[in-house]
Amino acid sequence: MNAQRILIADSDVELVEGLADYFRARGYEVKTAYDAHTILKLVHLEAPEAFVLGIDLKCRNGICVCELLSDERRFFYIPAILLTEQSDDWLKHDCHDLRAAYVLKGDRLGERINDLLSELAPAAPVFAAT
């Protein structure tokens, strides 16, 4: 069985590298990015089986990236988890509209993301059709 491919992106290099190490140690094939342009390039080269995107990315935020990807049907079924510092009503609304999950940054972040990934079923669209 091939390793599950995951794309982890955030403007915080330490956070991305820490999460990458966590998921590689658990058998994932991990791609990393620190800005929206790199994310979009990577997903078009080889689509991951899950996205973990920071809300505060360089160039665009994680929600904008999800919206851009929603224009392409081949990304509908890829689970997306957005990373944030705080939970705001607008974030809950936007994530719900995109069928994405979000998780607050902080302690045991890798574990909490891993738990979410195991709950998210790629059998239903993650990104809203536009």
pLDDT tens per residue, range 83-94: 988 777 776 767
Query: 3-state secondary structure string, 86-130?
Result: CCCHHHHHHHHHHCCEEEECCCCHHHHHHHHHHHCCCCCCCCCCC
**Residue 11, domain member (yes or no):** yes
CB 53 within 8 A of CB 91: no
User: What's the whole-number mean pLDDT along residues 54-81?
Assistant: 77
**Residue 57, domain member (yes or no):** yes
**Residue 130, domain member (yes or no):** no
**Residue 90, domain member (yes or no):** yes
Average pLDDT taken over every residue of the chain: 83
CATH number at residue 45: 3.40.50.2300
State which residues form the domain around 65. Answer: 5-119
**Residue 10, domain member (yes or no):** yes
β-sheet bridge partners, residue 6: 30, 50
The residue behind tokens 């045991």 is: 108
- What pTM does this model have? 0.84
How many structural domains is the chain composed of? 1
Pairwise CA distance, residues 8 & 1, whole Å:
21
pLDDT per residue as tens digits for the range 1-48: 467 999 999 989 999 999 999 999 999 999 999 988 899 899 989 999
Pairwise CA distance, residues 35 & 57, whole Å:
5
